[in-house]
Structure 1
């Protein structure tokens, strides 16, 4: 369960963030140059903003129970699932002095069980819920689960039980354990590069006592001081039905919903009315400058302002203005500072919208070697130029189309943190109107350049907080940050571990309803075709939203670097998007934004992919640009130099990222000279990067991106009769080059495994990152895949797995422990990830070893575990395949691993045919700790003495950014 420290609080703001992600590497032309032999038929004209707005709709009905619970119902029958979304209008802004972090702490306690539900996750996961999660922010706490229709009554029973009858389960023991989990979550956040920035931002912009000043996760001192009586009183005061919004979206109608909501929630009494908390933006009396030292390699400059809350008239204009300034791929800051003067390796601008006060931020990551004064002058000059001139009509149109395309995509998901349920809930919770998103989108479509320019000048013309994160040793501690703000520096923690609370009256009897049976999940039918040059095409037609998702996959990936030099594949793919067919990166980005499409090139271990997301109406021109990017890249020298600088900066940054350090080190240690030893981040190393040239990358492009190594996978609102001609136009006349295609030596033997510890010294780390692994004698196309996957699920594949329950829920040493067995084509690896508090590093490793070796020798798979990972997984499949992206990923695995088209349709039968003894056997054969390599990234002075007591071979390394 996570808290977003800078979460956007309404659909439009979240969509602007989503659009940024979509457009960051995406480019589409209105017309692509024709190659010889291509059809002269031109694709239809792009859809207009007005046409896109007409496609955005979330019909709903609303009713309010006598106890004040507001319920909103949206019907979507595309799948037999219902999303349950509940928003409590209580967040960190409601916390008084000395109680910071309480809302987030209660988010965790909500999952610890209630009077009639010993554990919230176990019944829901067994019933097939996906996802089951919660989050806390300044203005609210929310909980989401998407369940099979037959499990809706169970979900409502459980949500109502923790709304009405939570307190009997909030014991001192549970408080102590969840307090530890939350504090480790805080350490995990603080341990990241730039991890203290959010604290310093709030301290610099807001005065002590402002409700948005302290962090949602709070201070260590307040968490330690929380007594059982304190947290019980917090629940009583804030979690009544009259302070909540419930949304049911999916396979449900309003009449059915009303009866169920009345049944489960109607008897819960109203709670106290929560007084509104309002505090508007603050104008600094003069510009403020602050440097925050951190163990980072890249200087980060920021300019920050508080601006109006999300419901104010200027906010939409500010959001779109910031998007144009530093959010679009063709943004002003990108064009001037990254691609133009090449002073920055990354830039952003965005508005973090809250109910009462929002935050506008402009960020520049300075290119190493650039003088700080020059970078600051250029950043400030570009902001001033934008305020003076404002955006153009074309920039506004591109921002609007990109945002609307993202909104249409969001309609695909009924639940989760960003689907239709959350959109309706946020409209009601923040503005008293579930349909507020429609007004916001209409406001976006109506924006003019002058409206945006005026709003930006009103608010960005005020004094700014210039907060910079500078490379150096940390002088601040996250333990002392995030609280109210006027605590004395010497404030000591006073843990409340054994306090007493008044006894509670017994709760009324209640019992959980049964879960109705469900049929086997239905995977979409797959159609096949072959282009003129032999490229195979697989299509699953899904009409929920008018969009198409397409991936052109090549049998290459980072493993291909074993035949080139480290980092070649990733660099080559990054260059595809920098220029093609006579267009530079800016022109490609602008054309993409006009169409509301995105194209992204990247690689995983086995596959290099170019992926397209497009509106169905604009698929033709979107495919034309995709063909240009794939088939006619420029590899121009100036672009090469710019991207090389960015990759050098990214390599340097790896030295400050404990997770990246651990992943790189473990992969090289367990795979040796096998192709899978190549770093999956695709950055290679400094020596290889220095030796690369545009010609090197063009040679790799010629070698690996060829039709006879390609597959096309498509999911979306289009039929094969429409799709194939468009693909023939774009890719069908692409000739297969002479000579045999390259083949990666995936049958090479990994080195002999041995138990050992590699300690990477990262002084001052508040937490240790543990990453352990071993290579298995099984490949992705080998036998025993289903029992092996289920064995991993039992051990550490999810929240209820053994390792997570042990180290997080029982011991409170970690925010989360997980394992995985990546589905690689060649030899697979068993991996365990465990970020833990530093003083428990060796204890955590012992616990991991004990839990792994107990399966099945001392603790075979139980009946409850077997049901959860088999029948629960079957019930979860409709929710897992709700989105086009999820179906596309499954289809790519089918194609890459040679699975039958009905693999996922038959997976339910395979799960039911797998007994607990089969899972035990897979664990006994493949999962053992005896020869695992443990990589630990932490403070060697604190961790080293602990690890020596393990009695295993230990190697100590210092941080090397490009190792």
Structure 2
């Protein structure tokens, strides 16, 4: 992936998530049992439909158009038939490296991101995988002409912009992306799986990120030749989805792409599943919290007749909440803290895997024997008819939910493009779903027996010091015999003349129309908000409570997290398996969780199944049993999760920063909710019952609903589920969010993590802002200039200009209590000190030495305004916006008026906010990295430095 938000900043993203699907409630009566789903899998298949038209230009460009008028946006999705499986020896990582270079500008577009983001594109991104490279942007309808011009210019005329300087910078970015993934717990596993399943030279053996040596050896001539050989229009599928039709699209596509000449056809590669001659085992030692066992097989590609049966079979084995592995090993014998199984399907092969994280204290040999027995028994016996139906219904319900999004990496455009690219049929998804709906238990058993009865590659990772390095992994596997070196004789191909083209203007774009929000109150006083949206036959619902992880300031740290995690483990009338199975039959999903301010439980359900889904939700929310055996199991999982967090550099940095910034304030508790090991271990069922009664009560609740239902239909259902729930007589508890915050201190705290391939830098300061965020929009825009997006100053400096990081990001949180300014920067180890200096310098320069530029002002105001319609495509995103408005005391029309608010904010107001809130004075800096490597670098920073040891990682497990 070229951009960084998903992979790089999960800790910061977790800290910023202030509305989530989350926990539930206190005392009540048992809800009526959920009924069998009235909608059959065959009926659900009929609800998944993406109509399209297809045409091809004379140069071979295939174009697919899908019309969806629900929002004035168009997803532009471009798939190139080139991925890492096409890379020859010595060129691993080239497809992905070129994806990065593809954003560096072209003959008529100096920078690809600036015009699109100024026009309101979101997201603008790309990714590379074994079979393809794709590029996506979702733009306002008025910016479609611009997006097509820019995609065409880099498809046809990019070579003049591929320079040595850009290659060197993006090579550094990619290598830091590789280090960032390697630096995480279990971060080397994928390399080892490829090596174990396939021989040297197999197209699916080496990692898409490639080899450090091959990346170092890449020359300008190499990457220009890569484009010439693979990026012709005849190797491309362009999907346009949303507020567009084929009649309008065809002349636009002809205009911009029609004159691009055909290129060479991408050569086919021979890539088939490999059957090992005998079972093989590899053990890796790593800084991980628990032993992870995996069993791996290569399987058939996605067009194979067995693909649907394998997908469903592996889902039943370890993907469903009620999976065979979960029921036997997590809930049953309690040998594992987590289990998974799945089929990751590609064009020519698939990766079939089962995995088990062994519970601390459990004998490894006993766990391993039980793990293998569950799989063997399932393969021999096959699934039940009910398991097949539940798996298929859950899958189909998720597919219906996916119809909300027109563009992006997994929207309707991507679905159509992948069908065309891999199967020569944009409607391949329909065939796959119909095949799934028709599966019998015998079909699944036969496919599993065929593919899983072959010898497996067992990769096991055990706690200890890491003994292998990602620096030497990811390539073909024969690098030692033939090291990759640049060939100075390789001459770049001649640069073709590029026509002089002018970017088309962006036509006027209407402001956001946010759904109307209706309000009601249940008979017991619970407020209800509803936004009706009929794009898909589903409903999203959240019941949230004024609690959250900050509530643990009045209890034991970790109480809310453990209580919420226990809700789905059993009610007074159902156990965990029954709860999971009923969700699966209904095509519903219930998820409990929390943020610093709120505890919530979320539901997504098919509209036709909403009544029984609500009955199940009410039972989970109102009648949790907190049985001793269930609490013991969930507590073990939480303790293992805490160790996983402490093994992750970014998560460890964030939870450390929370405590340093807030002292004795409730927000000092780690924002991941896990508290500490001592407190978690001491929590009892009585503690959880008390917390449930204390915090999850109707007078602290509110219900938010978005989807295909009217208030007249909804309110009676909610009255049945929650209206008779009586608040307790005791006064509702209150968190001390107005408690004092420590005086800001400029300091560095280093958590020593020896041999880390990267340093993770987290910078923060509590701000003197509390309560509603209305009136702080200028600060939001100032943060967007500083570090709030890909084009921000911090990311532009450390990633794009210096190549020291895969991505740098800043944010201003939006809790009910004091807000926080945070910067997150994973950087290469040898640039840790200079990176800290660069971050502080960039902050200090804004706005004194570097005021807001006209380009920045346009991007963060008009660009943000134009991007708004795309931000609210899904029911979940609208629900989150409504909840945020309610939590912060903002009116329902806040987002509709935000455009005029932004337009009224001039540069001086943004600069004033930056001067007041975004300066580097008093910033606390947490660095997780190798002290030996970074200590000399920090002397030049000029701040006091404290060194601590990072938490020890690795659970006690018998038989290591």
Moved more, 46-55 or 707-716: 46-55
Task: Report the equivalent of 2:459.
Answer: 467
Provide the alpha-carbon RMSD of the alignment: 2.1
Offset of residue 882 of structure 1: 0.9
Task: Report the equivalent of 2:103.
Answer: 111
Offset of residue 341 of structure 1: 0.3
1:742 aligns with 2:765: no
Offset of residue 677 of structure 1: 0.8
**Aligned CA distance change for structure 1 residues 3 and 120 (closer, same or farther; 3 Å):** closer
Task: Report the equivalent of 1:827.
Answer: 818
Flag structure 1 segments of 5+ consecutive residues without an equivalent: 8-23
Moved more, 689-698 or 145-154: 689-698
Offset of residue 489 of structure 1: 7.3
Deviations 1:85-116 (A, max 9, x none): 00000000000001101100010001111110
Task: Report the equivalent of 1:227.
Answer: 219
Does the CA-based 8 Å contact 2:347-2:422 persist in structure 1? yes
Does the CA-based 8 Å contact 2:557-2:679 persist in structure 1? yes
Task: Report the equivalent of 1:624.
Answer: 615
Task: Report the equivalent of 2:522.
Answer: 531
Does the CA-based 8 Å contact 1:27-1:599 persist in structure 2? no
1:208 aligns with 2:204: no
Task: Report the equivalent of 1:312.
Answer: 304
Deviations 1:718-757 (A, max 9, x none): 0000000000000001001102100100001110111000
Does the CA-based 8 Å contact 2:33-2:612 persist in structure 1? no
Matches within 5 A, 1:283-432: 283-432=275-424
Deviations 1:168-222 (A, max 9, x none): 1000100110000000000001001100000000001100000001111100000
CA distance in 1 between partners of 2:222 and 2:468 (Å): 29
Offset of residue 654 of structure 1: 2.5
Please state whether the residue corresponding to 1:246 is helix, strand or coil.
strand
Does the CA-based 8 Å contact 2:698-2:727 persist in structure 1? yes
Does the CA-based 8 Å contact 1:157-1:512 persist in structure 2? yes
**Aligned CA distance change for structure 1 residues 576 and 34 (closer, same or farther; 3 Å):** closer
1:454 aligns with 2:472: no
Matches within 5 A, 1:86-101: 86-101=78-93
CA distance in 1 between partners of 2:892 and 2:773 (Å): 18
Offset of residue 566 of structure 1: 0.5
Does the CA-based 8 Å contact 1:27-1:591 persist in structure 2? no
Task: Report the equivalent of 2:565.
Answer: 574
Offset of residue 500 of structure 1: 6.5
Please state whether the residue corresponding to 2:160 is helix, strand or coil.
helix
1:869 aligns with 2:860: yes
CA distance in 1 between partners of 2:490 and 2:86 (Å): 24
Offset of residue 130 of structure 1: 0.8
Task: Report the equivalent of 1:159.
Answer: 151
CA distance in 2 between partners of 1:875 and 1:598 (Å): 32
Task: Report the equivalent of 2:842.
Answer: 851
1:521 aligns with 2:509: no
Offset of residue 34 of structure 1: 10
CA distance in 1 between partners of 2:726 and 2:522 (Å): 11
1:651 aligns with 2:671: no
CA distance in 2 between partners of 1:659 and 1:366 (Å): 24
Task: Report the equivalent of 1:586.
Answer: 577
Does the CA-based 8 Å contact 1:85-1:421 persist in structure 2? yes
Matches within 5 A, 1:161-176: 161-176=153-168
Offset of residue 542 of structure 1: 0.5
Please state whether the residue corresponding to 1:349 is helix, strand or coil.
strand
Task: Report the equivalent of 1:638.
Answer: 629
Of 128, 139, 158 in structure 2, the residue corresponding to residue 136 of structure 1 is 128
Please state whether the residue corresponding to 2:108 is helix, strand or coil.
coil
Please state whether the residue corresponding to 1:528 is helix, strand or coil.
strand
Please state whether the residue corresponding to 1:111 is helix, strand or coil.
coil
CA distance in 2 between partners of 1:497 and 1:335 (Å): 59
Of 740, 762, 765 in structure 2, the residue corresponding to residue 774 of structure 1 is 765
Offset of residue 50 of structure 1: 1.7
CA distance in 1 between partners of 2:424 and 2:3 (Å): 24
Does the CA-based 8 Å contact 2:36-2:586 persist in structure 1? no
Report the number of matched residues.
939
Moved more, 431-440 or 275-284: 275-284
CA distance in 2 between partners of 1:871 and 1:127 (Å): 8
TM-score, structure 1 as length reference: 0.95
**Aligned CA distance change for structure 1 residues 126 and 532 (closer, same or farther; 3 Å):** same
Does the CA-based 8 Å contact 1:686-1:962 persist in structure 2? no
TM-score, structure 2 as length reference: 0.96
CA distance in 2 between partners of 1:497 and 1:184 (Å): 25
Offset of residue 779 of structure 1: 1.6
Does the CA-based 8 Å contact 2:28-2:725 persist in structure 1? no
CA distance in 2 between partners of 1:444 and 1:44 (Å): 20
Please state whether the residue corresponding to 1:577 is helix, strand or coil.
helix
Task: Report the equivalent of 1:555.
Answer: 546
CA distance in 1 between partners of 2:482 and 2:812 (Å): 46
Please state whether the residue corresponding to 2:819 is helix, strand or coil.
strand
Task: Report the equivalent of 2:498.
Answer: 507
Of 106, 122, 125 in structure 1, the residue corresponding to residue 114 of structure 2 is 122
CA distance in 2 between partners of 1:496 and 1:181 (Å): 22
Task: Report the equivalent of 2:957.
Answer: none
Offset of residue 690 of structure 1: 2.1
Flag structure 2 segments of 5+ consecutive residues without an equivalent: 8-19, 955-960
